Every structure is written in C-alpha cells, then in structure tokens.
Amino acid sequence: MAIEKNYYTIDPQGKLKCFKCGVPLEKGKAKFLYLDNGFPVELPVCPVCGFVYVPEELALGKVASVERALEDK
C-alpha cells in the first residue's frame, strides 16, 4: 500500500476556530505551490469552508527557506 507523503504537519488540536463557520479547524490536507513546484502538507483547515491557515512561524521559517531554495534554482 502506498504511503502518503507529507512535507509538514500541524495539528491545531482544537485551539483554532473558523470565524466565518464557527467550527474548530482540523488537521487537513493542503498543498503549497511555488514556481511550478508543489508540496503536500497537513495544516489547520476549516472542515466547512476550507480556509487553510499558515501560522507565522511556518511562513517565516520553513516556507521562507524553501522559497529561497526554489528561487535560486
């Protein structure tokens, strides 16, 4: 059986809530797209409207460093 690969996982553990739908965010499937590259990840996602949350630490950390690496390709 194929094992699904995720580059990064964040579980919101019920701490975040969708403001519009009023439901807690869940660990859900998302992907980052940049310069023709795609990376499957698991991020806090609203199960109703599909809002994907990218926390500050992730944006400035892993995401920024991957961006730099891809930009210099």
Partner 1 sequence: MSQIQERGSTHVYKVNKISKEEMESMVTRCVYEEAPFCSAACPLKLDVRAMLKAAAAGDFKKALQLYEKAAPFPLIVSAGCEAPCEKKCRLSERGDGIAVREIEAAVSRCGKQSRLGSIFRTKKKKTAAILGSGLFPLFLAGELEKKAYPVTVFCEQENPEDFLRCAAGFLDDEAFRLELGRLKGKDIQFSFGCRIDAAFLEEKRQRFDMVCVSESILDALLPGSTVIPELMYCEEEKLIACRGEGVMAAAVGAKKAALTADRLAQNLDPRSMRGTEDPFESRLYTDLDEAKALTCIPKSGDRYTEAEAAEEAKRCIQCHCEECMKSCAYLEHYKKYPGLLAREIYNNTQIIMGDHQLNKPMNACTLCGQCTAVCPNGFDMARVCASARRNMVSTDKMPLAPHEFALMDMLFSNGDAFLSRLQPGKEQCRFVFFPGCQAAAVAPATVRAAYLDLCARLSGGVALMLGCCGAICDWAGRYEMQDTTRAFLLSELSKLGDPVIIAGCPTCRKELSELTGREVKGIWEILDEIGLPDGAKGMDRPAALHDACGARGDARTQETVRRLAEKLGVTLTETPYSGDRAPCCGYGGLTAYANPEVADEITQKALSRSDAPYVSYCMACRDRFARQGRESRHLLELVYGTDAGSPPDISEKRWNRLTLKNELLQELWLEEPKEMKLDYELNYTDEARKLMDGRMILTDDVIAVLDAFRENGEAIEDEDGLLVARHRVGNATFWVKFSMAGDNGYLVHRAWSHRMNVVKREG
Using CB under 8 A, list all residues that contact partner 1: 15-20, 25, 28-36, 40, 43-46, 49-54, 56, 59-60, 63-64, 66-69, 71-73
Closer residue to partner 1, CB minimum distance, 11 or 20: 20
CA distances from 41 to 20, 38, 58, 64, 69 (A): 23, 10, 12, 15, 18
Q: How far is the CB of 30 from partner 1 (least distance, A)?
A: 6
Cβ neighbors of 53 (< 8 A, separation 6 or more) are: 12, 16, 25, 43, 44, 45
Closer residue to partner 1, CB minimum distance, 11 or 31: 31
